[in-house]
Chains A and B, each alone.
Chain A
């Protein structure tokens, strides 16, 4: 009997002692943190993807409060998180478009000229060091460094070409950083589907045709038609997305491009889904030129 009482007494004394010491420590060792940091942390998605440029969500919250970082840097959370953070910090948030990656290459394996069989490490970074797998030294090699970098299963290599699944992509930018040829870039998506230039080849004319059936030959036709939107640099058009308006009728310039390198990329439209609903498709959607734009014919 005494044993039980003694045992109970020991445990009780230990519990009370620990409670007192820890209670005192909780007050004595209090670290003052700005409550706004916790509030922002609660609002952030917690994916720790690094898209904002900070090491994790906690780091970004601290940076916003202590270093005045912009509140709309969270690409995963998008506009809603930016508004919420803006409310906590007491700043106005101007609307921004979601940034999504675009792969500036759309040549499949059989459209490329292949060089000798590559037997090195099967990573794009390694292959790029020795000049790549194919004739085109600018385009996608399809060894999947971007797939490996993506934490959201949103980019895959299909038929030698990296294809983004815009239904899964959150815009963290990991694939952009992973690509050794820098052919993926982040573009503001002002609509579900935007126009993009799907080639990175900086050579001209026959040199391009020698290595790729569909590479941009630098004919400057697009720039002549719509000079304020398209700017040619190094034989390659660039689209000025500040001036881009998704309501514009792009049919003339789409027809003009002889290699059909101006393509719509983005989430699948109902037309796409309707046209492909009977097909046995992989889970992600691909841009399908035929169903996206009506009037243009494939003359390739």
Chain B
């Protein structure tokens, strides 16, 4: 039975595009929209999620013999809550400005569907090594998705990337009139929708069926 489960390496590769948590599984959309108005915030959020995901997956996969079926969601949630508290305190201690900017979205990692879904699908069924591979793969996919969104929004919305000027804005004597809608909620939704459309189009092209479909 264990042979039919994906290996650690397969889990890792799957998390990047085939089962990308944002664009294919459509989980964890709340932080994707909320913290991507700057690349720095996006990277911080991706780092926090990676930390929580890796720790939770490992812990859950180690305690999986003890899980009772009807209580497992509660156990996952409380494990994740503990690690999110740790992550939140670490961020507040070492990156205070970022912690203030991310605000309530760090504790919302507790109810981030990605982590609960990975615990349910992978960590509660496989050993620590595949769980680790899965967590790393999904975190990488999440990081790539978030960075893509944040880059688009930041470049078009403020002309910078990670604080470095890419398109000189009018205030700084340049030519670019920044699209401030990109930094506001509508921009987030639009960029996300269009990026998802692009990923769908690419996936459909890459797996074109032979013959009439």
Contacts and interface: CB of A to CB of B under 8 A. Distances in A.
The answer to whether A and B touch directly, with their CB atoms under 8 angstroms apart, is yes
Interface of A: 156, 158, 280-283
Contacts of A281: 211
Contacts of A158: 212
A281 B212 CA distance: 9
Contacts of A280: 211
Contacts of B212: 156, 158, 282
User: Which secondary structure dominates where chain B touches chain A?
Assistant: loop
A225 B24 CA distance: 59
Interface in B180-213: 209-212
Contacts of A156: 212
Interface residues of B, number: 4
Nearest to B211: A282
9 contacts: A156-B212, A158-B212, A280-B211, A281-B211, A282-B211, A282-B212, A283-B209, A283-B210, A283-B211
Nearest to A15: B78
B75 to A, nearest CB: 12
A174 to B, nearest CB: 19
A156 B211 CA distance: 13
A156 B209 CA distance: 15
A282 B209 CA distance: 9
A231 to B, nearest CB: 37
B16 to A, nearest CB: 28
Nearest to A156: B212
Q: 3 closest pairs, A vs B, by CB?
A: A282-B211, A282-B212, A283-B211
A256 B209 CA distance: 41
A201 to B, nearest CB: 27
A217 B210 CA distance: 38
A283 B209 CA distance: 9
Contacts of B210: 283
A6 to B, nearest CB: 16
A268 to B, nearest CB: 16
A281 B209 CA distance: 12
Nearest to B212: A282
Contacts of B209: 283
A282 B212 CA distance: 6
A158 B209 CA distance: 16
A283 B211 CA distance: 8
Nearest to A159: B212
B68 to A, nearest CB: 13
Nearest to A157: B212
A267 to B, nearest CB: 19
A168 to B, nearest CB: 13
B149 to A, nearest CB: 32
- Give the interface centre of A156, A158, A280, A282 by most chain B CB atoms within 10 Å: A282
Contacts of B211: 280-283
B150 to A, nearest CB: 36
B140 to A, nearest CB: 33
Given A280-B211, A282-B211, A283-B209, 5 more contacts: A158-B212, A281-B211, A282-B212, A283-B210, A283-B211
A14 to B, nearest CB: 11
Nearest to A282: B211
B60 to A, nearest CB: 19
A158 B210 CA distance: 15
B208 to A, nearest CB: 13
A158 B213 CA distance: 10
Contacts of A282: 211-212
